[in-house]
């Protein structure tokens, strides 16, 4: 029984020695590992979307919330749209 435990312990020590030696050899041949590249920060909603200006009052609005008018005119609210139309 002690012989089997001795063999297992010898194999574990031998594996650790080979692993350490191979890491040192790899670093000597190829140089140190390059650092992992940093991920770019996620874009914020304000940067990702361009604001549009209300044709009546000049307020800037997110395009998804702007109300369409005639042609390319956009409005921030129904009151501004009525003001220009009426």
Q: What is the pLDDT of residues 5-60, one digit of tens each?
A: 999 999 999 999 999 888 888 888 888 878 888 887 776 654 556 899 999 999 99
Q: What does the pLDDT average to over 63-75?
A: 89
pTM of the model: 0.43
Query: How many of the other CB atoms lie within 10 Å of CB of 28?
Result: 8
Pairwise CA distance, residues 81 & 62, whole Å: 16
Residue 49 pLDDT = 67
Which pLDDT belongs to residue 11? 95
């Amino acid at each position: 029984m002690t012989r089997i435990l001795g063999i297992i312990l010898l194999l574990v020590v031998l594996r650790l020695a080979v692993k350490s030696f191979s890491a040192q050899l790899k670093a000597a041949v190829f140089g140190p590992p390059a650092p992992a590249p940093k991920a770019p920060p996620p874009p914020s909603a304000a940067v990702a979307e361009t604001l549009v200006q209300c044709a009546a009052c000049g307020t800037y609005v997110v395009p998804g919330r702007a109300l369409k008018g005639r042609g390319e005119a956009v409005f921030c609210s129904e009151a501004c749209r009525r003001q220009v139309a009426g």
